[in-house]
Amino acid sequence: MEWLLGKREHQKLQVVRFLYQQNKTSVPLIEVERHFNVSKYMAKTLLTEIVADETRFGIVNTAALKFEDKGGMISWTPGYQVNIMRLEYFYTIESHALAMLIRGMSDSPISAATFADQLDIAGNHLVADRTLLNDRLAGSGVSVSSNMQLVGSESTIRIMMYRVLADIVETEADLTRYFPEQILSLTRQTVAFFEGNHVVSLNNVQRMRLFVFLGVSITRLQSSQTIDRNEAISNIFESTIEHDDELKMPYRTLRAIVLRYRRLMPECLDAEANFAMGVLMTDAILHGNMMNHATPALREMYNVVFQSVQTTYREFFKEELPESQNSSWPLLLIQPVVVLMFLRRINYQAEDGMATGHTLYPTYKLFTQKVLRHVGLAFDEQTDTILRRMEIDFYNAFLQALPREKMLPTIRVRLDYQDNLLAQHIQRMIMTTEMLNVVFVTDEAETPDIVIADRLTMSDETTLFVWPSSPSFAEYDIFLHTATKKMMAIFETQIY
């Protein structure tokens, strides 16, 4: 959630991300200076602060970034990109932007000067932070007012607060940072009511997300803020949902929960329940076939997305998407489609939904990007906005929907070993690697893409790996990286 970070923390996180995405374990300080166009003094200051932050946040020393001021070298342990997430988490929970959002969620106005005193920061710093936050929120129509209140579309505010808090709350104890005890007490009672009605069996993660969603909803309802019944976002399900054997109980339970805190007209109550069902089903807290009860607006959005999938498949493979798969697509796509319906209304400048630059399935990533470009054109959205907000949701759906044999080009590998037992061991290792589609070749006339041998051989046409024994983790990781790049090159040749 980099959009919540101050400029300094955002810059430090970008430095850490840049380093961990290198195929190295160390770089000289000058590389940071050049990449970020900063002075040597600023680069040293940022690295020194990052190391101090890692210590303050309790990041394990063996996994932490290290900076030698005297020699000017930066080193790290490869594979520990989780450190980026840890830093982002701690920077987020300490951010002034998050504090303003939490304050703005309630109905207790407060002057900027008083709030700055509570945060123990200068008043002009808080004003600058509020201006930066509102700039980032501008596309959503939501803003933080001068008396620290959230104003704008209620559905956008609730989804934004839910997604922000759900990503940083791990235990019930964490909730005390963001909700007063009165709200927590009501939320505990409501969760017990929800579970007591045997709506669904929840694991711990789902239970915490339900806690957060209900905490946000109760806070807003008690502040007399309700979902607008005229918004399409609050009308994604038809009334038939109340008669669905799988969904009617959670639907009625959510209506009852709303009525505990606000007396509403039936149509407004329907909007609240519809909105809640959409959020909870999108987050896999509730389960059911949403397409059976989709409103015309939701069906229209699904059809546009599915047509984008069909178009991309046709562009890639010069054939139509198999009709045999048509029945499975609604179940796989409806969840990201609903997310798209919600998130198009929350156009804050964030990167928290963006897939990583490196993936073990680059062909699926490319397919996802092409689909979302078509989606962006259909809804008149900028491609980078759609990608930034939706890439992971659709990428995960396509991993399930599109067969590996279609999406992963064949890599030809020859094993050149004198020891047959070692050759068989390495062949089993590679064959059980799910992200590769490998064929082992033995015909000398056939040119392989990769040769793995127990000794040095000469070839100008292939990539050679010399493994005289079972490869180390690092050696196998390099092999995977190389094979994936070759697979991507073959894939791009096939589709362009």
CB 302 within 8 A of CB 294: yes
* 88 domain-assigned: no
310, 421: one domain: no
What range does the domain containing 361 cover?
Answer: 296-405
Final residue before a domain boundary, out of 242, 262, 286: 286
The total of structural domains in the chain comes to 4
Low-confidence ranges of the chain (pLDDT < 70): 61-63, 79-81, 198-200, 231-235, 342-360, 383-385, 458-462, 496
DSSP 322: P
Name the strand (E) or helix (H) holding 323: none
CB contact at 8 A, 187 and 215: yes
Whether residues 460 and 398 fall in one domain:
no
Asked whether residue 317 falls in the same domain as residue 413, the answer is: no
Q: Does a structural domain hold residue 118?
A: no
Task: Judge if 279 and 194 occupy the same domain.
Answer: yes
Would you say residue 127 lies in a domain?
A: no
The C-alpha atoms of residue 4 and residue 164 are separated, in whole angstroms, by 9
Of the candidates 227, 253, 286, which is a domain's last residue? 286
- 386 and 416 belong to one structural domain: no
Report the CATH number at residue 14: 1.10.10.10
123, part of any domain: no
Structure tokens given for 75:
């080193």
CA-nearest of 91, 104, 85, 93 to 160 is: 104
Q: Is residue 126 assigned to a domain? A: no
In whole angstroms, give the CA distance from residue 269 to residue 363. 45
Length of the chain: 496
User: CA distances (Å), 276 to each of 162, 238, 251, 283, 419, in order?
Assistant: 11, 14, 9, 11, 62
Contact 345, 156 (CB under 8 A): yes
Helix residue spans in 57-149 (DSSP H): 82-93, 96-105, 112-119, 123-137
246-257 CB burial, b ≥16 within 10 A, e <16:
ebeebbebbbeb
Rg over alpha carbons for the chain, rounded to the nearest Å, is 26
Instruction: Please check whether residues 271 and 211 belong to one and the same domain.
Output: yes
| Strand-pair category, 143-144 with 66-68 | unpaired
In a domain, 334, yes or no: yes
Pick the closest to residue 164 from 106, 217, 102, 221 (CA basis): 102
Query: Residue-wise over 83-117: b if at least 16 C-beta within 10 A, else e?
Result: bbebbbebbbbebbbbbbbbbbbbeeeeebeebbe
Q: Tokens for 237?
A: 């399900």
**For the whole model, what pTM was predicted?**
0.75
Which pLDDT score is estimated for 358? 47
- Using DSSP's 3-state secondary structure scheme, residue 414 falls into strand
Instruction: Tell me, yes or no, whether 390 and 418 share the same domain.
Output: no
Residue 117 forms part of a structural domain: no
Q: Are residues 397 and 415 in the same domain?
A: no
3-state secondary structure of 148: coil
Specify whether 393 is located in the same domain as 420: no
In three-state secondary structure terms, 382 is: coil
| Local structure of residue 448 (DSSP, 8 states) | P
pLDDT, tens digit, for every residue of 428-474? Answer: 999 988 888 899 998 877 889 999 998 887 665 668 899 999 998 88
- What integer pLDDT is reported at residue 295 of this predicted model? 82
Q: Let me know whether 421 and 387 are in one domain.
A: no
C-alpha–C-alpha distance, residues 316 and 367, integer Å: 8
Nearby residues of 322 by Cβ (< 8 Å), 6 or more positions away? none
Question: What SS3 state is found at 464?
Answer: strand
Please check whether residues 181 and 280 belong to one and the same domain.
yes
Q: Extract the tokens encoding 96.
A: 């002034």
Q: Report the pLDDT value the prediction gives residue 348, as an integer from 0 to 100.
A: 44
DSSP state, residue 211: H
Q: Give the Cα separation of 335 and 256 in Å (integer).
A: 25
Question: Token pair of 381, please?
Answer: 């959205």
Query: Which amino acid, residue 32?
Result: V
Report CA-CA distances (Å) from 66 to 34, 47, 91, 435: 19, 8, 19, 32
Measured CA to CA, the distance from residue 212 to residue 52 in angstroms comes to 31
Classify residue 294 by its DSSP letter: B
Give the pLDDT confidence score for residue 288 in this predicted structure.
73
For residue 201, being part of any structural domain is answered with yes
Q: Are 104 and 149 in contact (CB under 8 A)?
A: yes
Residue 426 and residue 401 share a domain: no
**Domain end: 405, 420, 442, which one?**
405
Specify the pLDDT at position 126: 92
Give the residue carrying structure tokens 């380093």: 19
Nearest to 252 by CA among 165, 313, 194: 194
User: Of 172, 176, 277, 285, which Cα lies nearest the Cα of 217?
Assistant: 277
**Angle between helix 181-196 and 204-222 (nearest 10):** 120
What CATH number does the domain containing 438 carry? 3.40.50
